[in-house]
Structure 1
Amino acid sequence: MNAGPVNAGKLIVGAIVIVAAIAGAVLWYTAERAYYTPVAFQPGAEIRLVPLTSDQPEAIIVSGVEGIDADSSPIKFRACFTTPLTLATLTETYRDYPGAEPLVAPSGFDCFDADAIGRALETGEALAFLSEPNIHPGVDRVVAVFADGRAYAWQQLNAQFKD
C-alpha cells in the first residue's frame, strides 16, 4: 500500500496551518503593539478643552496623564488622566461634544475601557467635551470626564468624514 499521497497531504495541511498561525500573530502584533508609542505630554498643557467663549483650546488642570499614539493613523491617540474640575464647572466653561464615541484601545493600554466610557456617556455618568477641533483634517480630539475626576481622551472622525 502506498502512503505517499496521504503523508504529502498532511504536510501541506500542516504547512497551511503554520502559515496561518504566523500570519495571525503578525496581524495581532501590528494591530495591538507595532505602531503605538507613549505620548510625551508638555507639563501644564497636557490636555486642552475649547471654552464656550473662544475657538482656541486652553489647558485644564490634570494629573497622572498617561497616553499612547501612533503615526500610522490620526485616530490611534488615547489618554487617561484625572482632573479636579467638577462636571458643573466644565459644562459652564467648555464646549460639550455630542456624538462622542470612544474607540477601543489596544489591550496593553489597560486604563482605557472604551465600552465602559461609552456606556457612561450614554447614561450621563460621564460628559464629553471638545478638546481639539480638527487636530488632523476631519478628526477631533474628545475628552470624557466622570464626576469623580477620572477622564479619558481620544480622537475620532468628525462630521467631515462621517456619512
Structure 2
Amino acid sequence: MSGRLVGTFIVGIALIAGVAIYWLQLYAFYDEVSAEDGIRMTNLVTGQPEIVIYDSFEGIDADSSPLRYRSCFTTTMSLAMLTETFEHYEEATPLTAPSWFDCFDAVAIGAALEQGEALAFVGERDIKDGVDRVVAIYPDGRGFAWHQLNEKYSE
C-alpha cells in the first residue's frame, strides 16, 4: 500500500511540474508591447532605422530572452517604395510564436518569404547584442516583425 502511495505522489508531482513548465514557457513571461516606439526599418542611404507608416499593431515580448519579440501590423507603404528605401534582410527565418498569439504564423511567413510572396527587411541591426529585428511585408500591406540571431551568434 505504501509503494502505491509513493508512486501516486511522484506521478502527481511530475504532472504538476509539467503543467507549471508548460505554463511558464507559453504564458508567464510574455507581455504585450505597445507601438510607442513604432515599426522601424533601416534606410538604405543613411543606414539608420526610421519609423515607417503602420496601423493595427499587436506585439508581444519577454525579458527572459531577446528572441521572444513578435509583432503584427499593417502598412500602406507599397513594396516598390519599401525596396527602394529600406535595406533587404538575407536569410530571414521567422521564429514560432506562442499558439495564443494567433496573428503571427511563422510557418506561413517563412513559406511566403521563400516563395517571394513577402519581402524581408532589416528592422534594426543589433537591437540587442547579436540580435537583429527583422520585418517581413506582404504586397497587401500585412507586416510581421521578430528578433533573429545575427552573424555574431549564427556561426
Aligned counterpart, 1:136: 128
Aligned counterpart, 1:78: 70
Contact 1:100 1:128 in 2 (8 A): yes
Give me the TM-score of the superposition, normalised by structure 2: 0.96
Aligned equivalents of 2:114, 2:7: Cα separation in 1 = 48
* Structure-to-structure mapping, 1:140-159, within 5 angstroms: 140-159=132-151
- For residues 126-154 of structure 1, the C-alpha deviation after alignment (integer angstroms, 9 at most, x for no partner) is 11000011000100000001111111000
Aligned equivalents of 1:19, 1:114: Cα separation in 2 = 34
Secondary structure at the aligned position of 1:9 is classed as helix
- Percent identical pairs in the alignment equals 52
* Structure-to-structure mapping, 1:22-37, within 5 angstroms: 22-37=16-31
Aligned equivalents of 2:115, 2:11: Cα separation in 1 = 45
Larger radius of gyration: 1
Q: Displacement, 1:20?
A: 1.4
Aligned residues: 155
Aligned AA (1:71) = D
Q: List gaps (5 residues or longer) in structure 1.
A: 1-6
- For residues 33-67 of structure 1, the C-alpha deviation after alignment (integer angstroms, 9 at most, x for no partner) is 1111011221xx51010111011101100000110
Aligned equivalents of 2:111, 2:2: Cα separation in 1 = 53
Runs of 4+ off more than 4 Å: none
Aligned AA (2:54) = V
Aligned equivalents of 1:110, 1:78: Cα separation in 2 = 11
Aligned counterpart, 1:12: 6
What is the root-mean-square deviation in Å for CA atoms of aligned residues?
A: 1.0
